[in-house]
Amino acid sequence: MSEHPRDLAGYGAQPPHAAWPGGARVAVSLVLNYEEGGEHNVLEGDPASEGFLHELVGAPPVVGGRDLNVESLFAYGARAGFWRIHRTLAAHGAPLTVHAVAQALERNPDAARAMAAADWEVASHGWRWIDYRHVPEETERADIARSIATIERLVGRRPVGWYTGRTSLRTRRLVAEDGGFLYDSDDYSDDLPFYVEAADGHPHLVLPYSLDANDFKFLIVHGFTTAGDMLSYLIDTFDTLYTEGADRPRMMSVGLHCRIIGRPGRIRVLDGFLRHVARCGGAWIATREQIARHWLATHPPLR
Q: What is the pLDDT of residues 154-173, one digit of tens each?
A: 999 999 999 999 999 999 99
Q: Residue 4: which pLDDT band, with cuts at 50, 70 and 90? A: confident
Q: Taking residues 88-93, report their average pLDDT.
A: 98
Q: Taking residues 284-291, report their average pLDDT.
A: 98
Q: 10 Å Cβ neighbour count for 136?
A: 10
Rg of the chain taking only CA atoms, in angstroms: 19
- Amino acid symbol at 246: A
Give bridge partners of residue 121 from the DSSP assignment: 97
Tell me: the pLDDT tens digits for 40-61? 999 999 999 999 999 999 999 9
Tell me the CA distances in angstroms from 49 to 68, 167, 171, 202, 238, one per residue in order. 9, 20, 25, 40, 37
Tell me the CA distances in angstroms from 101 to 112, 146, 199, one per residue in order. 11, 11, 25
pTM: 0.96
d(C-alpha 100, C-alpha 226), whole Å: 26
Tell me: the pLDDT tens digits for 231-282? 999 999 999 999 999 999 999 999 999 999 999 999 999 999 999 999 999 9
The mean predicted confidence, pLDDT, of the chain is: 96
Angle of helix 82-92 versus helix 109-117 axis, rounded to 10? 10
Q: 10 Å Cβ neighbour count for 271?
A: 15
Give me the DSSP letters along 186-249. ---S-SS-EEEE-TTS-EEEE----SSSBGGGGGSTTS--SHHHHHHHHHHHHHHHHHHTTTS-
pLDDT value of residue 302: 83
pLDDT value of residue 201: 81
Q: Residue 199: which pLDDT band, with cuts at 50, 70 and 90? A: confident
Phi, psi values for residue 269, rounded to 5°: -60, -50
Residues in the chain: 303
Q: Taking residues 209-223, report their average pLDDT.
A: 96
**SS3 assignment, position 62:** coil
Q: Residue 83: which pLDDT band, with cuts at 50, 70 and 90? A: very high
Q: Residue 1: which pLDDT band, with cuts at 50, 70 and 90? A: very low
d(C-alpha 186, C-alpha 236), whole Å: 24
Contact by Cβ (8 Å): 261, 269: yes
